Amino acid sequence: MHDTLPRLQQTDFPAITRHTLQIVQVNLGYLCNLSCSHCHVNAGPKRTELMDKATIDLVLDFVCKHNIHTLDLTGGAPEMNPHFKYLITKARELDVNVIDRCNLVILQEPGYEDIAEFLAANNVEIIASLPCYLEDNVDKQRGKGTFNASLVALKKLNTLGYGQPDSPLKLNLVFNPQGTNLPPEQNALEQAYKKYLQEHYGIVFNQLFALANLPIQRFGSMLISKGLFNDYLQLLKDNHREENLDRVMCRNTLSVDWQGYVYDCDFNQMLHLPLGSHGMATTHLSALINDSLKDATITVGQHCYGCTAGQGSSCGGALQPHNTALA
């Protein structure tokens, strides 16, 4: 795989600093039931990296001390971490909102059949990746049979109350473009997804998050192989919108890897770009327990234009609330 970092570190992206920390995004490990072609953490069934109980307790301690309102769980398949239920139970006792970034298929795997009920009982928000509403496209990206397994999981979640009007159980879906274009306008795409899934399968959900692909890891490497890296970066830069800068997710989110090391965002984690406030030193969560990150410098690179291009892109979807169209 081509290393994209040398092409990203020299940057003219504007300098930005942190606001109040509100969200901690935790990568519980790289073990996954799937091996998707687009996976930006190279997760799969043979990976053994998993966050241990001591680090999970440290995360809980940090969340408590910093008054964090949302814990965002990712992986791999976060459900495959043996301490997944423990972490959620404790976080909910602290009245912290929990998000599970779920690949849906895991909810059908042997040994995980009770996870959907557990998530519902603990009022955990589910953000599920469904890269397309067409079977061929999903199976191509995630493996044969994954589209149908995802539909079964979505129907089960709907039965439990997820995504239903007036239900507190939130079910949001994630879309990424398949090619080298920016995501289409989020609201229009959400309407298309809702119409198709309702009409064909009777499935409902709350919101669709349309995310841009950042030129890192496998996607970045593919761009280099095809000689498209500079063109894609130029597309992101040409569509940069200054007003998105204030809402990029690193302003209020901290990213923690499976060993407890911290980064300004998940993308910087994948690039091993250390936390901006601590120079070039790798920082562990334990060093930040009594440290406010407010106004701290954020480590930026050329990939950051992926967050500010067009309608903007973050873990919670477009940054422009009413999607004032792409440039």
The tokens for 310 are: 């067009």
Which span sits near ligand SF4 by CB under 6 A: 19-27, 159-167, 228-236, 247-255? 247-255
Binding mask 108-127 for ligand SF4 (x = CB under 6 A): --------------------
User: What single-letter amino acid sits at 190?
Assistant: E
Q: Using CB under 6 A, which residues numbered 87 to 106 contact ligand SF4?
A: 103
Query: Alpha-carbon distance 149 to 146, whole Å?
Result: 5
- Closest alpha carbon to 201 in 66, 285, 104, 127: 104
Rule CB under 6 A: is residue 39 a binding residue for ligand SF4?
yes
In angstroms, give the least distance from the CB of 35 to ligand SF4: 5
Rule CB under 6 A: which of 198-237 touch ligand SF4? none
In angstroms, what is the minimal distance from the CB of 188 to ligand SF4?
24
Strand partners, 127: 101, 172
Stretch touching ligand SF4 by CB under 6 A, among 69-77, 84-92, 192-200, 280-288: 69-77
Question: Which of 16, 87, 96 shows the shortest CA–CA distance to 293?
Answer: 16
3-state secondary structure of 122: coil
Tell me if 183 contacts ligand SF4 by CB under 6 A: no
Assess 300 for contact with ligand SF4 (CB under 6 A).
Answer: yes
In the list 34, 99, 154, 233, the residue contacting ligand SF4 (rule: CB under 6 A) is 34
- Helix intervals (H) in 39-124: 53-65, 84-93, 115-121
For the stretch 260-276, what's the b/e string if a residue is b when 16 or more beta carbons lie within 10 angstroms of its beta carbon?
Answer: bbbbbbbbbbbbebbbb
In sequence order, what are the residues at sequence separation of 6 or more whose Cβ sits closer than 8 angstroms to the Cβ of residue 240?
A: 305, 308, 309
* Residue 169 interacting with ligand SF4 (CB under 6 A): no
Asked if 79 touches ligand SF4 (CB under 6 A), the answer is no
Comparison of 30 and 62: residue with beta carbon closer to ligand SF4: 30
Asked whether position 303 contacts ligand SF4 by CB under 6 A, the answer is: yes
Q: What are phi and psi of 255, to 5 degrees?
A: -105, 130
Of the candidate residues 268, 302, 311, 320, the single one contacting ligand SF4 (CB under 6 A): 268
Closest distance to ligand SF4 from the beta carbon of 218 (Å): 10
Contact between 304 and ligand SF4 per CB under 6 A: yes
Query: What is the C-alpha separation between 286 and 189, in angstroms, rounded?
Result: 41
How remote is the C-alpha of 150 from its chain's centroid?
Answer: 18
What are the b/e assignments for 294-306, b being 16+ CB within 10 Å?
eebbbbbbbbbbb
Q: Which is nearer to ligand SF4, 205 or 267 (CB)?
A: 267
CA angle 162, 167, 169 (to 5 degrees): 45
Rg of the chain, C-alpha, whole Å: 19
Cβ atoms within 10 A of the Cβ of 89, count? 13
CB closer to ligand SF4 out of 186 and 269: 269
**Position among 133, 261, 267, 277 found at the interface with ligand SF4 (CB under 6 A):** 267
| Collapsed DSSP state (helix, strand, coil) of residue 2 | coil
Which of these segments, 28-36, 119-127, 180-188, 222-230, binds ligand SF4 (CB under 6 A)? Answer: 28-36
Smaller CB separation from ligand SF4, 103 or 158: 103
Smallest gap from Cβ 79 to ligand SF4, in A, equals 11
Q: Which residues bind ligand SF4 (CB under 6 A)?
A: 32, 34-36, 39, 41, 43-44, 75-77, 103, 248-250, 264-265, 267-268, 298, 300, 303-304, 307
